[in-house]
Each structure stands twice: as C-alpha cells, then as structure tokens.
Structure 1
C-alpha cells in the first residue's frame, strides 16, 4: 500500500465549497477542486515552509505548510509502522483479554479488574487507531495546515468553505 508517491515537487489540491444539499439522513457537499500551482513547485530542501495560495474560485488568500520530501516520507513511514504495531499488538492483547475474562476473581481484587480494563483499552486502541494510521499513512503527502489569511495579515485556523484534497 504505497499511496501517493512523494516527489521533490508538490501540488496543493485546494477545494472550495460550491453547494451543500440536505436530504433525509444525508448531506452532500459539492467541491470545486483546483490544483495549485500548475505543474507543481519544488519542495523545501529541509524542514517545512509556509506558502501562499489564492483560491481561483472565490479569490481568498490562504497559507499552506509544505514539508520537505524527506520529512514527508519519514512521517508516512512512522504512521505506517505505528499502525501495524498496533494491529500486531492485537495478537497478544485479545487472547490475554479472553483468558483473563474467563477466570473468576475474588471479591475485592482490584488488580484483576485493572488488568482487564487496561487490556480492553489497548485492544480498543489497536482496533480503532491501528487501521486508521495504516490507511492515512498512504494519503500523507506533506501538504497540510490550511490557514485563511485575514485582511490584517493574521492567519485564522477556521477556514470556512475550503479544505485540502
């Protein structure tokens, strides 16, 4: 599962919300997606860098953080390894949970209850976070932190109607 290849050039996929349709039990959002800059730009050589983009549809100014190719690849690899380790931890936690759950405990034995609670938490972490990390690792491309630039020049975390694709 390689996902998108991380090269020495980047493209920002900026989505501008066109419409929202509400139906019974469902909401559909239509996006206008622009790939900026055309043909891509070179990534920073080390660390990360803030770049400015303008939405071609609504003409609002945004900033986006772009990571170097090495940093983006390292983050992708760390996410993938952590995800697989959490999934592999299920091979130990689930059998231990089944074994300890089938035993009778004496009244007032708080350590047995604590052990089962800890194993249940670890198993839940492995079931929920493990697959999420493995799947999201393939989508990490090193372009993140979309911020709206206000008229005063300050950046806002709240970016209404826009997102990165």
Structure 2
C-alpha cells in the first residue's frame, strides 16, 4: 500500500439481459495523479468527476496506517478461520466414522455443530482473506447532487 492512491471508476454503458445471465458493460476510467495522496491521519473526503457522464462524486480515503491495519486484521481473521479447519475437519471425520446407538438423542448433536463450524471456517475464512487483499482504504462512494448533498445509493457507477 502506497501513499498515493488511484481510483478506477466504472460508468454503466449498457445492460443486456439474456436467458440465464445479465451482462453489464462498463466504461472504466482511472483517476490518479501526484495530488492523489493519502492523509497523514484519519480520513479525508475527495471529490472527483465521472469521465463519461460528468457527474460529481466523492469518496472517503483512509490514511495509509489505518488502511494497512484494516487489511492486516481482515487477513489475520481469515487465516485464523482457515487454520481452525485443521481442528474441526479431523474431528468431523473422527466423529462421523463412529457407530452410535439409535436411541441416543445427543449422539449426532456434536457432529452437526462441528459441521457448522467447519462450513463457517471455510466460507468465512476465504471471504475475509479476499476482502483483506482487496481492501484499498477507499470507502463511502457517494454521488454529490447539485444542492451539495451526498446520496447513499449511486446508480450506474461503481468503483473497481
């Protein structure tokens, strides 16, 4: 992660609906330069204009230290969840291979909990690792209206 940052803004060109999928075509413009530096502390709001439709937008850019620490926390949580699979999967295999009494109602309760923990560890771990790798410290993408108010929903645009 560097002191300078770049934004890749996508403006929706067309939407093609098919039988099984919808295809969205984007016009992507890159916004960068010498003046695009991160703040020393906290966060700052950065205004910019869409390259295609000339609408005004703004994003909140985090400081380098805050963005780096968030990235490390996301990745640490993700790897911890993935490492937890080294415990839960062997326990699932061990308990799944045992024979149990048909009349024992608590015999399969532990197996269900371990299967749930293994699924959460796998899905959550991969998600947190990917979010950590993709985190760039740019958030709160907003459309700035003519009155100066910022919207929460931005239609037809996205950051890549």
Please indicate, yes or no, whether the TM-score normalized by the shorter chain is above 0.5. Answer: yes
Paired residue secondary structure (2:16)? strand
Aligned length: 159
Which residue of structure 2 lines up, in the alignment, with residue 3 of structure 1?
A: none
1:155 positional shift? 2.0
- CA offsets per residue over residues 145-164 of structure 1, 9 Å max, x none? 21112333322221111000
TM norm structure 2 = 0.87
CA shift, 1:128, in A, is 1.0
Q: Which residue of 2 aligns with 1:150?
A: 145
Greater strand fraction, Structure 1 or Structure 2:
1
The runs of 4+ residues in structure 1 deviating greater than 6 Å are: none
Q: Could you list the per-position Cα deviations for residues 78-125 of structure 1 after superposition, in whole angstroms to 9, with x for gaps in the alignment?
A: 111111111111110111122223331564644x54433322221111
Partner residue in 2 for 1:89: 84
In 2, distance between residues paired with 1:40 and 1:21? 38
Q: In the alignment, which residue of structure 2 is the partner of 1:44? A: 39
Residue in structure 1 matched with residue 29 of structure 2 by the alignment: 34
Gap regions ≥5 residues in structure 1: 1-5
CA RMSD in angstroms, aligned pairs only: 2.0
Tell me whether 1:100 sits opposite 2:83 in the alignment. Answer: no
2:118 corresponds to: 123
Q: Find the aligned partners of 1:154 and 1:74 in 2 and give their Cα distance.
A: 31
Q: Find the partner of 1:134 among 125, 129, 134.
A: 129
CA distance in 1, matches of 2:93, 2:118: 11
- TM-score of the superposition, structure 1-length normalised? 0.85
Cα distance in 1, alignment partners of residues 60 and 101 from structure 2 = 54
Q: Which runs of 5+ in 2 are unaligned?
A: none
Q: Secondary structure at the match of 1:133?
A: helix
